[in-house]
Homo-oligomer: A and B are copies of this chain.
Amino acid sequence: MSASARSTGSPSAARTARLAVKTSRRTELRNITADIADIVARSGVVSGVCHVYVPHTTAGVTINEGADPDVARDIELTFDRLAPRNAAGYQHAEGNSDSHVKTAIVGSSQTVFIEHGRLVLGTWQAIFLCEFDGPRTREVLVRSVPDAAV
């Protein structure tokens, strides 16, 4: 996978990691589960919550089936139908209003539980960066939050 992760240096933000993800198509769901799992493992958090955040306005993040890549393709197809690239009436001059709409639909973050030091995902679940105005290199922020001491 063409993604690389590094921890932030700041001590006051020790739990946030940044991930770079290269996309190759305009609309593309890219499976980043292995990278997120790796970041969580290195965070040392045994029990808690992992927040995955995309700091862009034409890309988001979703959780869906990772086993059959046709599922991601069918989601891409349907999103391109829900917000067509050249729909009448768009005012935004950059020509990517559809990309902004799709981002609003999937959302900018996902929350996944951490148990026994690992992400708690369902059997078929994978985490996808949702590229809606690619190809580009995108950034993903990952924060692993341990349970508070009781």
Contacts and interface: CB of A to CB of B under 8 A. Distances in A.
Given A62-B107, A77-B90, A122-B57, A47 B12 contact: yes
A106 B146 CA distance: 26
A135 interface: no
Interface stretch (A20-28, A31-39, A109-117): A109-117
A74 B90 contact: yes
A2 to B, nearest CB: 21
B109 A16 contact: no
A1 interface: no
Contact of A141 (B109, B113, B147): B113
Contact of A92 (B55, B70, B92, B111): B70
A10 to B, nearest CB: 7
Given A68-B92, A75-B100, A79-B104, 20 more contacts: A10-B115, A13-B47, A15-B147, A49-B143, A49-B145, A53-B111, A53-B113, A55-B123, A57-B64, A57-B65, A64-B100, A70-B93, A71-B97, A74-B90, A74-B97, A77-B90, A108-B125, A109-B110, A113-B141, A147-B148
